[in-house]
């Protein structure tokens, strides 16, 4: 396919976390392996897990992952609207990669969202004019009847851009047939005309037992199922709406490979409120013999060889949370004992002496934990950069997303932050993905912790990520009707799809 407007598909879901992000990535990887020039797109994303593009734009990290699946450079066009929650009722609105202000949910859905439809459609049209195919991801469910009037990410964009819609359902949760049927039946006739069919995700067992239900679903809705994807562990990469981890659970439920040395290394990540870019620790979890856990109790830090205080959209709130739970005192004890602590972005700011915040929390002057000689002042302008440097004798790359401006007054320089004893702090996200630096850092941690841990010499985080993306592509290629999928992408939804009552309420 070449020239003109490229084909397209909207991957919707019966619920949040149904698997839209990974299915979109899988379709992108499958297509690019077929020689198709493809790009991902998500009109509006609500996420604290974000990424900085080369042009300095902030987008959802899931879209950056999908761009990697498509083997293209991520840009702001792929995620024109990003909402970063700051509380249960308000979010920072990031438009075309730059923050434009805080807004309540009522204010956003009360008019601002509709105003952004033109921008969203322009971005999608530009991508479709450049690529053979654009695989779009929806948000939540397309059947949120209370939000349909202002929708710019599900059926609102499907109808405006005339995109066929594939609805993904997570059968592992149960109730997938009712969810599929109900999703279609709550849409207006005009919306239903674009819903081409279904994709079952996370199926365990014998597919032949499912087939009668799929036949009944088609007879009830007039829409076929385009594939049944089997359940696989370890595919929840770069989620956006929440962590695919439970507190006191291992990252991604992944199996820990045997250590190269005699000991394993235990990493505890403080599960602070409004945690952002928790994917920073994925590279640690990829190391053989490293066990990464998210924790929320002081006693869970006792046997940790490294404690990570991660990024957060609410630095002052996270600081209060650490104090309330006794984690702040536990961190201070670790520092006094020379036991490793790493603060990243908001976590780095928390470890400092003083915070002046009239922007994020508007709390004014706040004392930090005082473990690093750093004073932080929150600026209205957000820092969005892709720094490159060196630390521990190794090259490092990362990205920065923060309002806090750090004044470092002592310690040993560490990336853009500092180190005092075994307490380390930096604004750089993603630095641990640099293999040589990660190994050097873990050697330092192991020495300080008294562990006979040896980093594997050949662990490549980039290669592991590519293997994960190929697994997603394999799922689509092996378990979906790819010929039928391509017809959808190229030609749109089938004509004559029946209306399923009752439809959307008046």
List the catalytic residues. 345, 429
Q: DSSP class of residue 492?
A: -
CB 83 within 8 A of CB 108: yes
Q: Are the beta carbons of 20 and 467 closer than 8 angstroms?
A: no
- Residues 33, 277, 408, 331: is their CA dihedral positive or negative? negative
What is the rounded CA–CA span in Å between residue 104 and residue 465? 36
Contacts of 50 (CB under 8 A, 6+ apart): 58, 59, 60, 61, 82, 84, 94, 276, 277, 401
Q: How many Å apart are CA 139 and CA 20, to the nearest integer?
A: 8
Q: Which of 69, 163, 58, 151 is nearest to 113 (CA)?
A: 151
Stretch (H or E) spanning 449 = helix 435-449
Q: Which DSSP string corresponds to 103-161?
A: EEHHHIIIIIHHHTHHHHHHHHHHHHHHSSEEEEE--S-TT-TTTGGG-SSSHHHHHHH
Q: How far apart, in Å, do the first and last CA atoms of the chain sit? A: 40
Report how far Cα 491 is from the mean position of its chain's Cα atoms.
30
Calpha distance 487→175 (Å, rounded): 29
> Cβ(453)–Cβ(263) under 8 Å?
yes
Q: Where are the beta strands (DSSP E) in 238-393?
A: 265-270, 275-276, 290-295, 306-309, 311-312, 341-344, 354-357, 364-367, 374-385, 388-391
Q: Which residues have a Cβ under 8 Å from the Cβ of 109 and sit 6 or more positions away?
A: 147, 150
Those residues whose C-beta lies under 8 Å from the C-beta of residue 474, and which sit 6 or more positions away, are none
How are beta strands 306-309 and 341-344 bridged, if at all? parallel
Q: Residue 463: which region, alpha, beta or left (left: phi > 0; alpha: psi -120 to 50)?
A: alpha
Give the chain's radius of gyration (CA, Å): 23
Closest CA to 177 of 235, 228, 106: 228
Go through 85-117 and write b for each residue having 16 or more CB atoms within 10 A of its CB, e for each that does not.
Answer: bbeeebbbbbbbbebeeebeeeebbeebbeebb
């Amino acid at each position: 396919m070449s020239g003109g407007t490229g084909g397209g598909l909207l991957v919707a879901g019966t619920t949040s976390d149904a698997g839209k992000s990974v299915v979109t990535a899988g379709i992108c990887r499958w297509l690019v392996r077929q020689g198709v020039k493809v790009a991902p797109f998500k009109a509006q994303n609500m996420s604290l897990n974000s990424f900085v593009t080369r042009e300095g734009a902030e987008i959802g990290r899931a879209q950056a992952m999908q761009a990697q699946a498509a083997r293209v450079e991520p840009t702001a066009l792929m995620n024109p609207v990003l909402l970063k929650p700051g509380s249960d009722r308000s979010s920072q609105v990031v438009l075309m990669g730059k923050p434009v202000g805080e807004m309540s949910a009522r204010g956003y859905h009360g008019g601002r969202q509709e105003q952004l439809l033109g921008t969203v459609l322009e971005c999608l049209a530009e991508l479709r004019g450049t690529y053979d195919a654009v695989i779009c991801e929806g948000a939540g469910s397309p059947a949120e009847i209370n939000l349909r009037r202002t929708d710019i990410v599900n059926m609102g964009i499907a109808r405006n851009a005339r995109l066929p819609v594939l609805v993904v359902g997570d059968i592992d949760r149960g109730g997938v047939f009712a969810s599929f049927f109900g999703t279609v039946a709550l849409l207006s006739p005009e919306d239903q005309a674009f819903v081409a069919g279904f994709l079952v995700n996370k199926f365990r067992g014998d597919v032949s037992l499912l087939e009668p239900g799929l036949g009944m679903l088609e007879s009830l809705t007039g829409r076929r199922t385009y594939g049944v994807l089997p359940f696989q562990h370890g595919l929840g990469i770069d989620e956006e709406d929440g962590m695919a981890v439970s507190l006191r659970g291992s990252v991604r439920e992944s199996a820990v490979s045997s250590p190269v040395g005699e000991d394993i290394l235990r990493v505890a990540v403080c599960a602070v409120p409004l945690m952002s870019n928790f994917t920073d620790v994925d590279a640690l979890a990829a190391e053989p013999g490293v066990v990464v856990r998210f924790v929320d109790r002081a006693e869970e830090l006792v046997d940790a060889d490294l404690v990570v205080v991660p990024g957060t959209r609410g630095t002052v709130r996270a600081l209060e949370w650490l104090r309330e739970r006794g984690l702040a005192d536990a961190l201070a004890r670790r520092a006094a004992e020379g036991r490793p602590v790493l603060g990243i972005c908001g976590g780095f700011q928390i470890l400092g002496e003083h915070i002046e915040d009239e922007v994020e929390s508007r709390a004014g002057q706040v004392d930090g934990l005082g473990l690093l000689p750093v004073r932080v002042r929150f600026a209205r302008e957000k820092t969005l950069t892709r720094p490159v440097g060196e630390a521990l004798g190794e090259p490092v790359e990362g990205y920065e997303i923060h309002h806090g401006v750090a004044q470092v007054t002592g310690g040993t320089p560490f990336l853009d932050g500092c180190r005092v004893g075994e307490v380390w702090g930096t604004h750089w996200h993603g630095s641990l993905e640099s293999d040589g630096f990660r190994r050097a850092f873990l050697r330092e941690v192991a020495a300080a912790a008294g562990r006979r841990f040896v980093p594997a010499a050949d662990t490549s985080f980039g290669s592991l990520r590519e293997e994960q993306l190929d697994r997603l592509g394999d799922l689509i290629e092996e378990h979906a009707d790819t010929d039928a999928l391509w017809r959808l992408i190229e030609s749109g939804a089938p004509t004559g799809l029946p209306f399923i009552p009752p439809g959307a309420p008046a």
